[in-house]
Structure 1
């Protein structure tokens, strides 16, 4: 440090506000050695006294205000009651790396203390302006800035911030603890651990990042290093030297440093095949234009024909693929914890240097996609950011709700299908039972008809013959008794015929229906018109019997319920089907029963037609008669 800095640092404290006021009063009040004018005869007024001692009264007034507003201690030169920390950065203000550190550092300090801790951040821009005279002037300026203020701790960031802090400490803050962060072991071994200091050591991930990039691109033969001018950008020079010493024997090192930005953009766009690019720091290009490294990456990486890598987490998202990235937020939190221990009274010498890994494995999904790097090829534990969120991630609650609704609906539908299936099974069972009942009914009718025809009817016929012979033998003429017996025999024969029409099997369906219509017409006096095929085909026994029974039921219903004067029956027979239509001119069916099954007769007809695979239809209306159609 030069003599100016020593003079600034060794001078007395500046006068306090009270001292300034006192000196003002001395200058405005005459001393006993001054020439005194003769006393005035007239007594001075209050305003004359105020005018004569205006400086004294002004000082008293200001001090009174300070006492009333709680600033008496400051007015008398006392130090503020809260802790003060000075952070020394070697970069210019606004760099994302140090902004992330400062935000997390100050937030962690606020959480650690109930009372406020005042933090002053000095961004000295030593990486771009590292001349000795610049550092000397900075020392003078800092000495003037913090002269008379108590400083409780100094935080030095990075290798160059640490070198500056320990270079100034003997004159600026000789007994103030120095806490450093962002230093590697090499810097500590070179510079040494200053007295009354402690800090966090870490290894930067630039070399590991390049090794990882070589694993991702095993055919790499060239490593392009992009940075600022080595004579101006100390970080660029520092990292270039380490990379060159490590990889120069096995790979061609392409130095793209110290050129103007347009030239660098052109060079990275025309790199040889099998090249990876690495950028550590670019604060100024060859034309003197200033950048942050994030700004430089965003200008270079999009047009490059090789993947870009770096080792700082704030660089992620500007165009680098990723790697072992130094996380300044983690550094800020742990540095704040160390500073808190010292502010609470712990000695720095009692705290050992802590080796901490602040690097995180992180990658940009967009760059992985651009350079066709599969995620499975990344080292285990890698974080992939900027990945487009999936539909599940954006709408998982809605998806779960939809799945739940679908499951409930599926269960309800399954229950409904099961209910329908059971109903169909029951319906088939009922139809089967109904068919068996109808078959049993026909069998019983056939048996009863046979008994009536073969037994009772024959016996009645013999009885009628014997009765006629007896009447003729005794000469007794009792014609009414003989007529009753013959009528009874005919009725029994008709009952047997209705139970099982023998003509249906011997003559066929059409003649049997024609004969039945004639019987109905003769018995009830209602005109019955039958239309049938001239040459009827032979229908199977079961469908013929079903159609005959339906015709019987339809005619009997018309006779009993419709009050019709004329009934029409039409039979059509085709090779594979038959159609029967029965209509009347009766009163029809009431409107409130239209289209419904009313009465066991229609139910029985419908069931018979269903058993033979046919269709049954009833059309009726009040006053327009009834039409029954089966097919």
Structure 2
């Protein structure tokens, strides 16, 4: 967290308060007390506030003291607080009554240490020390050492002193407004206000010579507001304190300053941290957090019986970034080391860690994505190469299948060719007769055409089976048609092996999208494998069933079953592996190629969606059907 943000957060926690009589200290050298020299006695500390609880300055300073004391002693301390309210009740009679009241109140609980915040509290305890805390150690804070000398405090009273240097605030204003020609100093009508004004006249005597200087005093709050609103733009306004106005109305100084600043015609500056966020640009101020720590450490040293001495606090330049923007003042003209409160951090200041992490993640992701893209391209190239090799293997398998079924093919071709020859010979005999029967010749010619078409279909199927492809030829076709075509090719081989080939097909079309020849090759591989499984089986009937159906998941399914031997469970996972075979003359590639073709379609979806989003599923079941 940046120093500016830390300062802002702490200031919000302490409140924005004005300090007419309370200062902020620098860092105290006192350390937490390790052991209090009190035996079983729990130390008592009384904090005297000069005014009521509405004065945020003394209240915040007191809370900082209390927090420090409780932390250092682990709550083994009695803390008491009294608000003298001497701003609204400054009469001697009231002061006497308050002294007698507190003396009676603490008769049985005399404090070991009394902390007097502000000049008024210090005077009160000094005058009434014998009745209230004769043996207590007195610590005062909130005013300058010169003021303490004027008050003629007892020698054993220790102070946390601070010099409220209004000149430093004025110098800060001059740095931000080098073009300013007018200087206005605002002060109220209370005794403290007048004292402040008197001291400011002396301190600003040299500084004010460079300006047309006006002291605004002994006015009502309305008059302060009106005059401040009419000052020239090239003016510097220094706000001291307004505890009372001319009409005798009491104010919290920061609230009075806020009312004036809302309509002021020029920037306002002040010497108190509590004025920040109440309309002032900034000033040379002190912090209450350090005051609380220093005063508390002095109290702890006193309770422990250690010697304590006076301390001086340091001032810090603080500015409200919103007011700088409001008046168009450049932050570059701020004194060195000045803290800007309420400054909106830049994106980098606020999110630098997240930004660095995000950049690292993006860089890492970019590297991974680039690597994945390279791997994807390489994989695509490998898949393309693998597909080409698969198509070559499929073509070789097709050629092998055609060779294995050559006898069946020849048998299937011989039937239509033989019929053509017989019909041609019959037609020749009829034509040599004296009265040729032309109608009969016409019928013979029709039979010849049908047989020729049968032979043509056989040759087309074989040509398609042997056709070499470099890419998958996506087609939409009826699975039932491909199944029927495969049965025709297998018929001759099945008759040779005494295998009865049958099919069970749905009445409706089963459209699929694939390469027709590849699907046919899968059916032939599975069917020939099934027929091979029945070669050595002694049974009354060898049957091969090709069944198509539409599943409940809207998938087209083709199952091929036979009455051959069952596949042993231990071999079931291996039957689709390349080169695995149980046949003496087998290559072990038929089922492997069938699986490769189906898996290729699973990975390479066609560019168009099938009707009802149907997919092509092949199942091969080898089991006993006879019983």
TM-score when normalising by structure 2: 0.52
Q: How does 1:395-414 map to 2 (within 5 A)?
A: 410-414=366-370
Matched, 1:367 2:327: no
Say which of 368, 378, 393 aligns to 1:422: 378
CA root-mean-square deviation: 4.9
**Distance 1:397-1:593 versus aligned 2 partners, 3 A rule:** farther
- Given that residues 231 and 237 in structure 1 are in contact (C-alpha distance below 8 angstroms), is that contact kept between their aligned partners in structure 2? no
Matched, 1:281 2:265: no
Name the structure, 1 or 2, with higher relative contact order (CA <8 Å, separation 6+): 2
Richer in helix (by share): 1
Partner in structure 1 of residue 84 of structure 2: 123
Q: Secondary structure at the match of 1:249?
A: helix
- Given that residues 190 and 244 in structure 2 are in contact (C-alpha distance below 8 angstroms), is that contact kept between their aligned partners in structure 1? no
Deviation at 1:322? Answer: 1.9
Q: How does 1:585-596 map to 2 (within 5 A)?
A: 595-596=513-514
Deviation at 1:342? Answer: 1.4
Partner in structure 1 of residue 308 of structure 2: 351
Say which of 244, 247, 253 aligns to 2:213: 253
Partner in structure 1 of residue 603 of structure 2: none
Q: How does 1:425-440 map to 2 (within 5 A)?
A: none
Matched, 1:328 2:246: no
- Given that residues 91 and 123 in structure 1 are in contact (C-alpha distance below 8 angstroms), is that contact kept between their aligned partners in structure 2? yes
Tell me, in whole angstroms, the C-alpha distance in 2 between the residues paired with 1:393 and 1:592.
66
Tell me, in whole angstroms, the C-alpha distance in 1 between the residues paired with 2:280 and 2:171.
15
Say which of 201, 214, 217 aligns to 2:161: 201
Tell me, in whole angstroms, the C-alpha distance in 2 between the residues paired with 1:299 and 1:267.
12
Tell me, in whole angstroms, the C-alpha distance in 2 between the residues paired with 1:283 and 1:220.
28
Deviation at 1:228? Answer: 0.7
Say which of 106, 118, 124 aligns to 1:158: 118
- Given that residues 311 and 323 in structure 1 are in contact (C-alpha distance below 8 angstroms), is that contact kept between their aligned partners in structure 2? yes
Greater Rg, structure 1 or structure 2?
A: 1
Q: Secondary structure at the match of 2:251?
A: coil
- Given that residues 166 and 284 in structure 2 are in contact (C-alpha distance below 8 angstroms), is that contact kept between their aligned partners in structure 1? yes
Tell me, in whole angstroms, the C-alpha distance in 1 between the residues paired with 2:85 and 2:452.
129
**Distance 1:412-1:154 versus aligned 2 partners, 3 A rule:** closer
- Given that residues 199 and 354 in structure 1 are in contact (C-alpha distance below 8 angstroms), is that contact kept between their aligned partners in structure 2? yes
Task: Give a deviation string over 1:259-292, Cα, whole Å, max 9, x none.
Answer: 1112111111111131121212111112222110
**Distance 1:598-1:215 versus aligned 2 partners, 3 A rule:** same
**Distance 1:262-1:185 versus aligned 2 partners, 3 A rule:** same
Matched, 1:224 2:163: no
**Distance 1:141-1:162 versus aligned 2 partners, 3 A rule:** closer
Partner in structure 2 of residue 385 of structure 1: 341
Task: Give a deviation string over 1:124-146, Cα, whole Å, max 9, x none.
Answer: 425x666xxx2465135403530
**Distance 1:592-1:415 versus aligned 2 partners, 3 A rule:** farther
TM-score when normalising by structure 1: 0.52
Task: Give a deviation string over 1:500-529, Cα, whole Å, max 9, x none.
Answer: xxxxxxxxxxxxxxxxxxxxxx9x9679xx
- Given that residues 89 and 156 in structure 1 are in contact (C-alpha distance below 8 angstroms), is that contact kept between their aligned partners in structure 2? yes
- Given that residues 230 and 257 in structure 1 are in contact (C-alpha distance below 8 angstroms), is that contact kept between their aligned partners in structure 2? no
Deviation at 1:295? Answer: 0.9
Deviation at 1:309? Answer: 1.4
Query: How many equivalent residue pairs?
Result: 395
Matched, 1:145 2:102: yes
Q: How does 1:171-190 map to 2 (within 5 A)?
A: 173-190=133-150
**Distance 1:432-1:372 versus aligned 2 partners, 3 A rule:** farther
Deviation at 1:385? Answer: 2.6
Deviation at 1:244? Answer: 3.5
Tell me, in whole angstroms, the C-alpha distance in 2 between the residues paired with 1:234 and 1:161.
18
**Distance 1:137-1:598 versus aligned 2 partners, 3 A rule:** closer
Gaps of 5+ in 2: 1-39, 390-448, 466-479, 484-508, 521-606, 608-627
Gaps of 5+ in 1: 1-79, 434-521, 528-553, 564-586, 603-616, 618-631
